[in-house]
């Protein structure tokens, strides 16, 4: 085209040429679509962007050309909708971002803008579309979003402040660390969570970053939380600059180091402890190389830390123990189990010492063993002390053994003559004596028994203090033990006119495991003391449970009396050996003052405690506690009938006695009425008949009954007429005569005080349901002279070995009126020879301490001869003055069948012979 032709073009043509030039040269892809969505124009920008030439693109559908397959259907529908909008509204435009696919198959992100092409009549004839590559921008946006997400989700607190020192960003980590939300923080001064005393330091750091934006500042310190607590943080501060290097913000990244600080503090504390320890402490690697070496190790072995670290353990381990130590260290590393032993070590200068070594594994955070730590303690002095203690212990044991042997010897030497003294007094008492002679014999017997009690107390105390007394742990019945303890002393109480009462609380279990012998010894001591020092009134023995139902069993035993009491200033010395309240008490009542000392020591052995309450002139209460275990699978020892609503009448003059019976019977459902006299009992009986509930059983105190014969007769008649059974409660001091008297009154059913719960239940069962055995007729608590002695009704050949001629004379006299034949020898050798020579003895009485051959050896020899000759086992009864349980055990181990302690009474000896022969296999 020449200049003339150009000058002749219209403005519209010139404008069109300009637009064509702009489209052709544009970096953006500019294309046109017909209304049937065919490409009608394709500029060079489109070719550069999508890789297709105009020849390849014109006439094609965009969906077949540059729209990714996954988006084609959706984009076709969207493009169709957009054309429809442009047809209706010429001003409508199309704006969106889409992924496009190049000719080579790669994808790019693009922004697409489109508008309708209309003719002069406004009819839509196509669409013009401009596409721009925004792949780099989208990638940057995605990276920015990812970084924002990382920052927001970080556990570190990340914040920024503007040049005006106000917070502009506050991430989730900052919210969690400090408790302030982003809404609460943005726009606030940057010091909101900084302690006031650190504000100046914070402003100084900001000033340094403003002055030198290229630096990074790191520091540690405490920051405040919203709730007022403090958190230790590590802070990194740096400046944020724009493209021109101008500071636009300051950012801080803060990490919670509270746990690290605590660990550092613990580590420092442990290091201080290790360094201050008197024990040598070192760390050793899995290759047996020294890693650390404390000052005590320097002192113990003579090598400094600088000399030791990095060396092998052969530096301080003796050569003869090196291999074993290496193997032990390897086992600790492999198994993770600690090890300990004693090592004979040497100082650098050659000084030997004994080292107690303990090594244990060191683990990393994953639990893997990375080495071992070792602790060495110089125990040379301790070992020397141990040797001295062993020597001292052996000397003490020898002294204790000597003391025990002395006690056993003294027991034998004292009890042997006591056997003759008491035995002869008993024999003399069986003869025809006048009143004065009988009185002399009683004095001899009473004082002999008093001397024996004193001997027993002294020996018991000596056994306890020498540690020779040990407790048993066997099953026993508590009811029977407590009642039998009281019954043993009842005759003394009743002879003084005292009431002796036994009470067990309903929640006290009775099938126990403990030491019944020692418990009985304590009770008899306390009950005997109470009876001794009480002239009138009563003695109450009670047992209560003081432990909760689910706790280990613990019981409290109480012995209360109405006796003379004890002054408060005398209480503190009462449990000392050989002590009484004052000398006048000892003169009036007698006694050695050993009983309570033994009680206190026995209760201490039983893991209990003794207490005392007393008031002069009013009486005393001794209490002691003790733990016990329960027997399992043991049935109830008392077989009670059903007492629900059974009408019963208790006629008892003693208030405590009535209360105990009321608790015992009323607690089992009986309907109980109380009366304190015959007349009150008669009135209660009549009232019960009028009420239509006649009395079924009357428990009648014999002292009340015998005080008013006429009223008693009325009571017997009226009780019998209404079907009531009368059970009389009598004392045991005149038992045989009282039983005869009661039978004359047709009161054949009786119980002996203190009431035995087993007997009471048996009598009541018999009266209510008709079983339970016969009602007692000849009571087992009759005086010994009222019961015949047990004697085998055939001749027995008995071999008796004893080196004391007095004892042999006594035993011969005891057996004089029996059909037994006694052969006597004076030592164990003669006993063996005599037994073998005769070969047919029915029984052997064997003293234990004899010359030449003692009773243990003689018994073993007899048992050996019986086994060798297939002879039946002959009963052998050991006679010994030893008070130790060990003596009883040794007699059993030697082959004895029974054990009788000296001094021997006639009844005891005859009973032992009777029992031994009765159970013998032949």
What are the DSSP calls for 705-748, one per residue?
A: HTT-HHHHHHHHHHHHHTT-EEEEEE-STTHHHHHHHHHHTT--
**585 or 617: which leads in pLDDT:** 617
Q: Of 62-66, 125-129, 408-412, 821-825, which range is least confident?
A: 408-412
- Is the pLDDT at 527 greater than 80? The verdict is yes
Strands 29-34 and 39-42: antiparallel
CA separation, residue 536 to residues 250, 567, 581 (Å): 102, 19, 20
Q: Using one digit for the tens of pLDDT, what is the confidence trace for 457-514?
A: 666 666 666 666 778 889 999 999 999 889 888 888 888 999 999 999 999 999 999 9
Cα(548)–Cα(542) distance, integer angstroms: 18
Q: Which of 129, 810, 813 is nearest to 420 (CA)?
A: 810
Cα(257)–Cα(140) distance, integer angstroms: 34
Q: Using one digit for the tens of pLDDT, what is the confidence trace for 118-162?
A: 888 889 999 999 999 998 888 888 887 878 788 887 888 898 998
CB 347 within 8 A of CB 300: yes
Mean pLDDT of 404-431: 69
Whether the ω angle into residue 70 lies within 30 degrees of 0, i.e. cis, is: no
Q: How many CB atoms lie within 10 A of CB 419?
A: 23
Q: In what order do the strands lie in the sheet with 247-256?
A: 167-170, 157-161, 247-256, 230-241, 216-224
Number of helices and strands in the chain (H, E): 31, 33
Q: Indicate the helix (H) or strand (E) that contains 248.
A: strand 247-256
**125 or 430: which leads in pLDDT:** 125
- In sequence order, the β-bridge partners of residue 697 are 648, 725
Provide the pLDDT for residue 334: 86
**Tokens representing residue 350 in the block:** 């050659």
pTM for the whole structure: 0.50
Greatest Cα pair distance, the chain, in angstroms, is: 188
CB 595 within 8 A of CB 461: no
Q: Of 135-144, 568-577, 805-814, which range is least confident?
A: 568-577
Q: Of 146-160, 403-417, 538-552, 868-882, which range is least confident?
A: 403-417
Cα(758)–Cα(415) distance, integer angstroms: 37
**H/E/C letters for each residue in 523-552?**
HHHHHHHHHHCCCCCEEEEEEEECCCCCCC
- Judged by DSSP in three states, 450 sits in helix
Q: Using one digit for the tens of pLDDT, what is the confidence trace for 592-609?
A: 456 788 888 889 999 999
- In this prediction, residue 548 has a pLDDT band, given cuts at 50, 70 and 90, of very high
Provide the pLDDT for residue 401: 67
% the chain with pLDDT above 70: 86
**Tokens representing residue 99 in the block:** 């992924």
Provide the pLDDT for residue 593: 54
- The burial of 480, by beta-carbon neighbours within 10 Å (0-12 exposed, 13-18 middle, 19 or more buried), is given as middle
- Is the pLDDT at 407 greater than 90? The verdict is no
Cα(68)–Cα(102) distance, integer angstroms: 9
Helix then strand then coil, in percent of the chain rounded to 5, is 45, 25, 30
Q: Which of 586, 562, 719, 593 is nearest to 647 (CA)?
A: 719
């Amino acid at each position: 085209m020449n200049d003339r032709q150009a000058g002749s073009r219209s403005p519209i043509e010139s404008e069109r040429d300009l637009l064509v030039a702009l489209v052709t040269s544009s970096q953006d892809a500019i294309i046109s679509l017909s209304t049937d969505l065919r490409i009608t124009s394709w500029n060079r920008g489109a070719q550069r962007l999508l890789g297709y030439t105009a020849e390849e693109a014109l006439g094609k559908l965009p969906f077949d050309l540059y729209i990714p397959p996954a988006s084609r259907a959706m984009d076709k529908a969207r493009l169709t909708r957009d054309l429809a909008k442009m047809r209706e509204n010429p001003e409508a435009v199309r704006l969106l971002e889409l992924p496009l696919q190049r000719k080579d198959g790669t994808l790019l992100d693009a922004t697409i803008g489109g508008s309708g092409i209309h003719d002069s009549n406004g009819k839509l004839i196509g669409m013009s579309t401009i596409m721009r590559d925004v792949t780099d921008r989208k990638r940057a946006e995605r990276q920015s979003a990812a970084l924002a997400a990382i920052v927001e989700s970080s556990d570190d607190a990340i914040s920024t402040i503007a040049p005006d020192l106000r917070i502009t960003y506050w991430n989730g980590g900052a919210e969690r660390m400090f408790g302030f939300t982003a809404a609460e923080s943005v726009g606030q001064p940057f010091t909101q969570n900084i302690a006031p005393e650190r504000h100046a330091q914070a402003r100084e750091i900001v000033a340094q970053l403003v002055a030198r934006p290229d630096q990074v500042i790191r520091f540690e310190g405490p920051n405040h939380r919203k709730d007022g607590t403090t958190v230790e943080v590590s802070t990194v501060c740096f400046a944020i600059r724009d493209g021109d290097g101008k500071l636009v913000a300051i950012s801080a990244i803060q990490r919670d180091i509270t746990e690290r600080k605590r660990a550092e503090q613990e580590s420092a504390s442990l290091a201080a402890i290790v360094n201050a320890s008197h024990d040598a402490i070192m760390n050793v690697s899995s290759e047996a190389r020294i890693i650390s070496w404390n000052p005590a190790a320097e002192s113990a072995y003579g090598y400094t830390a600088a000399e030791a670290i990095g060396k092998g353990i052969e530096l301080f381990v003796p050569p003869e123990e090196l291999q074993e130590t290496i193997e032990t260290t390897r086992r600790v590393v492999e198994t993770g189990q600690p090890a300990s032993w004693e090592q004979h070590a040497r100082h650098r200068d050659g000084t030997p010492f004994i080292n107690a070594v303990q090594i244990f594994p060191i683990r990393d955070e994953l639990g893997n063993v990375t080495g071992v730590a070792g602790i060495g303690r110089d125990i040379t002095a301790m070992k020397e002390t141990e040797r001295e203690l062993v020597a001292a212990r052996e000397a003490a044991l020898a002294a204790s053994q000597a003391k025990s042997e002395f006690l056993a010897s003294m027991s034998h030497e004292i009890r042997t003559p006591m056997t003759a003294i008491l035995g002869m007094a008993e024999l003399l008492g069986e003869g025809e004596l006048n009143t004065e002679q009988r009185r002399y014999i009683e004095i001899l017997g009473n004082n002999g028994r008093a001397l024996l009690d004193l001997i027993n107390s002294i020996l018991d105390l000596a056994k306890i203090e020498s540690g020779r007394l040990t407790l048993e742990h066997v099953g026993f019945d508590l009811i029977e033990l407590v009642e039998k303890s009281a019954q043993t002393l009842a005759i003394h109480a009743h002879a003084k006119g005292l009431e002796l009462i036994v009470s067990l609380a309903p929640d006290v279990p009775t099938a126990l495991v403990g030491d019944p012998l020692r418990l009985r010894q304590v009770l008899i001591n306390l009950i005997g003391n109470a009876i001794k020092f009480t002239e009138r009134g009563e003695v109450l023995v009670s047992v209560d449970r003081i432990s909760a139902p689910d706790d280990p069993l613990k019981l409290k035993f109480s012995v209360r009396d109405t006796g003379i009491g004890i002054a408060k200033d005398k209480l503190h010395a009462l449990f000392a050996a050989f002590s009484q309240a004052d000398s006048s008490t000892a003169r009036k009542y007698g006694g050695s003052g050993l009983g309570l000392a033994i009680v206190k020591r026995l209760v201490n052995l039983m893991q209990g405690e003794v207490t005392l309450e007393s008031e002069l002139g009013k009486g005393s209460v001794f209490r002691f506690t003790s733990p016990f275990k329960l027997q399992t699978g043991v049935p109830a020892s008392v077989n009670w009938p059903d007492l629900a609503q059974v009408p019963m009448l208790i006629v008892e003059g003693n208030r405590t006695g009535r209360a105990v019976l009321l608790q015992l019977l009323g607690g089992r459902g009986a309907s109980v009425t109380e009366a304190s006299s015959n007349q009150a009992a008669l009135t209660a009986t009549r009232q019960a008949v009028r009420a239509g509930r006649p009395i079924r059983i009357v428990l009648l105190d014999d002292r009340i009954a015998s005080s008013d014969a006429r009223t008693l007769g009325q009571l017997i008649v009226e009780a019998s007429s209404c079907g009531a059974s009368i059970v009389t409660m009598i004392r045991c001091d005149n038992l045989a005569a009282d039983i005869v008297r009661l039978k004359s009154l047709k009161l054949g059913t009786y119980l002996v005080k203190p009431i035995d719960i087993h007997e009471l239940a048996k009598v009541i069962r018999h009266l209510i349901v008709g079983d339970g055995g016969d009602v007692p007729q000849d009571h087992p608590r009759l005086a010994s002279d009222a019961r015949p002695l047990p004697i085998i009704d055939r001749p027995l050949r008995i071999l008796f070995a004893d080196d004391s001629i007095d004892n042999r004379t006594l035993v011969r006299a005891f057996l004089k009126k029996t059909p037994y034949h006694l052969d006597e020898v004076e030592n164990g050798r003669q006993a063996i020879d005599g037994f073998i020579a005769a070969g047919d003895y029915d029984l052997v009485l064997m003293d234990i301490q004899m010359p030449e051959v003692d009773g243990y050896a003689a018994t073993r020899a007899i048992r050996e001869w019986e086994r060798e000759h297939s002879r039946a086992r002959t009963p052998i009864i050991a006679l010994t003055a030893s008070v130790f349980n060990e003596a009883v055990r040794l007699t059993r181990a030697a082959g004895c069948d029974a054990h009788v302690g000296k001094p021997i009474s006639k009844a005891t000896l005859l009973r032992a012979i009777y029992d031994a022969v009765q159970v013998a296999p032949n």
